[in-house]
Amino acid sequence: MISKSEYEKAVERTISFFEKAQIVLTKEEKASIEVADFGLNDLSHTGLELITYLNTERVCAKELVLFPGQTCPEHRHPAFGSYIGKEETFRCRWGRVFLYVDGETTNPIKAKPVDGVYTVFHEIELLGGEQYTLKPDTKHWFQAGDEGAVVSEFSTPSFDEEDIFTDPRITRKPQIL
């Protein structure tokens, strides 16, 4: 859970990160910023701030903000029904992101895993202008570098409620007190 005050501070900080990345948002977009603490009540370490521009039956486009050292926990986008799972491309717009996927373990990794369950450690470092595409059902997690990051996500349709997190404590929908 997250307090209303903490949520509002995170939204204001998120807007400042979009400004650093020179991403212009409308008043309506600013009002629709989502703050996800994943139910762990530790937003400074595990969380994600985002805006969804569109999510249709064919495509999805989002902007993600990660505060310095903040981590989006390990998860995957599985197949369900007739849907084969979400394919997504992350493009770093500002800052630095350490993305971890299945593959040969990078040793040592540059991120600092926070409390939680992490099983994939093949590191892909993304700087401004660099991108990486994940196939459906690929386990992944990512963490911002020391200054934070803004990342554009382009994907097939997003069904956040179907995401499977490795850590069973995680809930995707934020609960605001």
pLDDT in tens, 1-45: 789 999 999 999 999 999 999 999 999 999 999 999 999 999 999
**What is the reported pLDDT for 134?**
98
**Per-residue confidence band for 174, with pLDDT thresholds at 50, 70 and 90:** low
Give the whole-number percent of the chain exceeding pLDDT 70. 98
| CATH match of 4-165 with 2.60.120.10 | yes
* pLDDT, tens digit, 9 for 90 and up, residues 52-86: 999 999 999 999 999 999 999 999 999 999 999 99
Q: Judge whether residue 173 has pLDDT over 90.
A: no
CA distances for 174 relative to 76, 117, 160, 161, angstroms: 19, 19, 12, 12
**What is the reported pLDDT for 171?**
87
Please tell me whether the peptide bond between 108 and the residue prior to it is cis, using omega within 30 degrees of 0. yes
H helical segments located in 4-141: 4-20, 27-31
**What is the reported pLDDT for 166?**
96
Q: Judge whether residue 177 has pLDDT over 70.
A: no
Q: Between the CA atoms of 160, 162, 1 and 6, what dihedral angle is there, to the nearest 10 degrees?
A: -10
Average pLDDT score over the chain: 95
